[in-house]
Amino acid sequence: MSPTTLTVVPDIEPAAASPAPLGDAAVAESATSAESAENERAPHPAGGAELEVPPNATAAYMDPRELVIAENVRTGFDVAEHPKQADSIREFGVGAPVLAEREPDGSVHVLDGQVRVLIAQAVGLTRVPVWITDAPTDVDAKQRRIDRTMTQINLNERRIPLTQADYTAGVALMLDLGASPTRVAKGLQQTKRAEVRKLAAVGRSATGRELADAGQYSLDQLAVIADYDNLGDTDAVEKLTTTSRYNFSYTAKAIAADRDETRRRLHASLPYAAYGFGILTDEPGPDDAYLPATELTRADGEPVTDDDVYADPARWLVWVDLEENAELVDTATGALVDPDTVDWDTQHNPDTEPGDGLRRADGLAWRDRWIPAYYLPADQLDTTGLQRPVPPAADPHEALAAAERAAAVRKEARLARRRVRELNKRGVAAAERREEFLSKYVQRSKPPVQAAHFVAEYLARNLAPGALQLVTKLLGIGWSTEELVKVIGAASTNRAWVLALGMVLANREVTLDKSLWRTRSETAARYLHLLADIAAPDDDFALVDVEQAAAGDIDFHDIPIDK
């Protein structure tokens, strides 16, 4: 494709309605051209033409305080509003040369780079790189101002910012070349050390870089996607990039749990692989080309045993399945413990002695167990001497139906096991996601509007009988939880908070009796002092002597009993 050359075409005005004499028209055109030429300068030549090298152009390092900030299209710049740029120049100096013009009197006026110069002055730099050309002397002041403004706008507007993809790729390159995360974080300044490795992971991933430029995901989310992409786990990448933003954390945790289980399963399979068995990475279904050993018999009709399987391991494949909390072990020795030999009443009661012949529950833990299942490729059945059992039945059709029913039962059992396993993993992921949400939520300074009613109803449904009786008595309603919940549901937000406080106070009140004066406790003191503090002047309430004694304000021995 050949380059396109742009040329300047003079603006031709249409003829006036009343034609003028040719001589007058020529004079008018000459005047118009002169006025236009006075305020228009030809642009730089386009295409491949070389630009004229300015005479006496020099590159120098100058003290920024010696540079003159001339008229600039950018006005109102405040260094204090750009701390990151100031930190960068303070740390690394000015890298891009300032463009400036030398006036006839020798002063150097900044054409481009005002911001760099002002920041350099503010942070105390003593030198900045400057590219200096002589100011034109054959152009009037008005035209110079036009040229200056045109240049400044073009230089600022045509700068292409670094994309997020390029930024992350650069971080990855620096780490790959041996730079430490600390050094990269310090050098980039706007990046925290903890984020450097995440940025590098994104930078190494083609998918991560593409998504970074799209701006749809946070850095943490991009790092998760990139980690799987860098591992070649396309299934995980697809799940993460197709889930909604609100479910991203949940999906990520579910995938992580699944991959963790896969790693543990493969680790548990290693001894079987070393023995010569093939290893299955997915549990075979009833329609797969694998026959479980439990469904095969020998030629004599006896079931296949482990000895039969281990006699020729190369013929068999193993699938190890996880049984959660299947074994009880001694955490100190790792030895298996029979649950029937443990006195479970001692589990949370250190003062309780175990029964005769039983051991304490301390120092014990439940552990998952991997259970092997052996499968034979169906196409090898004829070469092994094994066979599928034939159910006894007088009717061959009934025998076939019985076999199909048994297969359906096995299929349903397999599906049920898988459902429990998969949903349990999702349950763990959901719990972790809730904890993340709650950890952020409890940092807020204002409760949600639902808080008052939720807290009050929770307290109502968990009141001890004595406290429930007291609260309903104080409110003048029927003595039942449901009656109390109805009152809470009809209350305003502020009223619901009052009811919640009332139930907490009732819980404390029912622990006090007529002898409260002789039992001093911090709990009672806080409760009684709160009552005194929240009482309004028209409530006509203050702590009396026995309450003061219970609160620790006075000694009950000092209470006069003859009054």
Q: What is the pLDDT of residues 52-79, one digit of tens each?
A: 778 788 999 999 999 998 888 887 788 8
Does the pLDDT value for residue 171 go beyond 90?
yes
Helix orientation angle between 465-475 and 493-509, rounded to the nearest 10 degrees: 130
What residues contact 221, with CB distance under 8 A and at least 6 apart?
240, 248, 252
User: What is the spatial distance between Cα 388 and Cα 294, in angstroms, rounded to a whole number?
Assistant: 10
Helices (H), 371-521: 396-441, 451-461, 465-475, 481-489, 493-509
- Per the structure, the complete domain to which residue 525 belongs is given by 451-558
The reply to whether 322 and 404 lie within a common domain is yes
User: What pLDDT was estimated at residue 36?
Assistant: 43
Does the pLDDT value for residue 309 go beyond 80?
yes
The reply to whether 82 and 199 lie within a common domain is no
Residue, of 8 and 204, whose pLDDT is higher: 204
User: What pLDDT was estimated at residue 10?
Assistant: 33
The reply to whether 84 and 188 lie within a common domain is no
User: What pLDDT was estimated at residue 559?
Assistant: 85
Name the pLDDT band for 325 (thresholds 50, 70, 90). confident
User: What is the spatial distance between Cα 319 and Cα 325, in angstroms, rounded to a whole number?
Assistant: 19
The reply to whether 151 and 175 lie within a common domain is no
Judge contact between 283 and 463, C-beta under 8 A. no
Residue, of 470 and 23, whose pLDDT is higher: 470
* Poorest-pLDDT segment among 29-43, 233-247, 339-353: 29-43
Angle at 523 between CA 519 and CA 527, to 5 degrees: 105
Q: Describe the strand order of the beta sheet including 317-330 as a list of residue ranges.
A: 278-279, 317-330, 364-377, 290-292
Beta bridge partners of 319: 373
User: What pLDDT was estimated at residue 168?
Assistant: 93
The reply to whether 415 and 551 lie within a common domain is no
* Poorest-pLDDT segment among 292-306, 398-412, 414-428, 498-512: 398-412
Name the pLDDT band for 20 (thresholds 50, 70, 90). very low
Q: What is the pLDDT of residues 456-514, one digit of tens each?
A: 999 999 999 999 999 999 999 888 999 999 999 999 999 999 999 999 999 999 998 88
The reply to whether 300 and 330 lie within a common domain is yes
Question: Is residue 262 included in any domain, yes or no?
Answer: no
The reply to whether 133 and 199 lie within a common domain is no
| Average pLDDT of span 10-29 | 36
Query: Among 228-232, 287-291, 517-521, which range has the highest average pLDDT?
Result: 228-232
How does the average pLDDT of the chain come out, rounded? 84
Q: Please list the helix, strand and coil fractions of the chain in percent, rounded to the nearest 5, in that order.
A: 55, 10, 35
Question: Is residue 20 included in any domain, yes or no?
Answer: no
Name the pLDDT band for 392 (thresholds 50, 70, 90). low
What residues contact 537, with CB distance under 8 A and at least 6 apart?
none
Rounded-to-10 torsion of CA 70, 75, 78, 83: -90
Per DSSP, the three-state class of 343 is: coil
Four-residue CA torsion sign, 430, 435, 440, 441: positive
The reply to whether 149 and 223 lie within a common domain is no
The reply to whether 298 and 406 lie within a common domain is yes
Does the pLDDT value for residue 353 go beyond 90?
no
Residue, of 13 and 551, whose pLDDT is higher: 551
**Last residue of one domain, picked from the residues 138, 157, 176:** 157
**Last residue of one domain, picked from the residues 157, 189, 217:** 157
The reply to whether 277 and 402 lie within a common domain is yes
Give the pair of three-digit tokens for residue 187. 């050098």
Say whether pTM exceeds 0.85.
no
Question: Is residue 27 included in any domain, yes or no?
Answer: no
User: What pLDDT was estimated at residue 33?
Assistant: 42
Helix (H) or strand (E) holding 148: helix 141-157
Does the pLDDT value for residue 5 go beyond 50?
no
Question: Is residue 36 included in any domain, yes or no?
Answer: no
Please report, for the domain that includes residue 128, its CATH number.
3.90.1530.10
User: What pLDDT was estimated at residue 148?
Assistant: 84
User: What pLDDT was estimated at residue 51?
Assistant: 67
| Average pLDDT of span 326-343 | 88
User: What pLDDT was estimated at residue 393?
Assistant: 59
CA atoms within 13 A on the CB side of 52: 7
Question: Is residue 503 included in any domain, yes or no?
Answer: yes
User: What pLDDT was estimated at residue 59?
Assistant: 92
Name the pLDDT band for 188 (thresholds 50, 70, 90). confident
The reply to whether 398 and 476 lie within a common domain is no
User: What is the spatial distance between Cα 252 and Cα 48, in angstroms, rounded to a whole number?
Assistant: 54
Question: Is residue 422 included in any domain, yes or no?
Answer: yes
Question: Is residue 44 included in any domain, yes or no?
Answer: no
Residue, of 77 and 309, whose pLDDT is higher: 309
Question: Is residue 248 included in any domain, yes or no?
Answer: no
Judge contact between 96 and 116, C-beta under 8 A. yes
**Last residue of one domain, picked from the residues 157, 175, 192:** 157
What residues contact 199, with CB distance under 8 A and at least 6 apart?
167, 168, 171, 172, 191, 219, 223
Give the pair of three-digit tokens for residue 558. 């000092």
Q: 445-484 burial, b if ≥16 CB within 10 A, otherwise e?
A: eeeeeeebbebbbebbeebeeebbebbbeeeeeeeeeeeb
The reply to whether 494 and 354 lie within a common domain is no
Q: How far is CA 127 from the centre of its chain?
A: 43
Residue at token pair 């404390």? 508
Name the pLDDT band for 187 (thresholds 50, 70, 90). confident
DSSP 254-271: HHHHHHHHHHHHHHHHHH
Based on the structure, what is the number of domains in the chain? 4
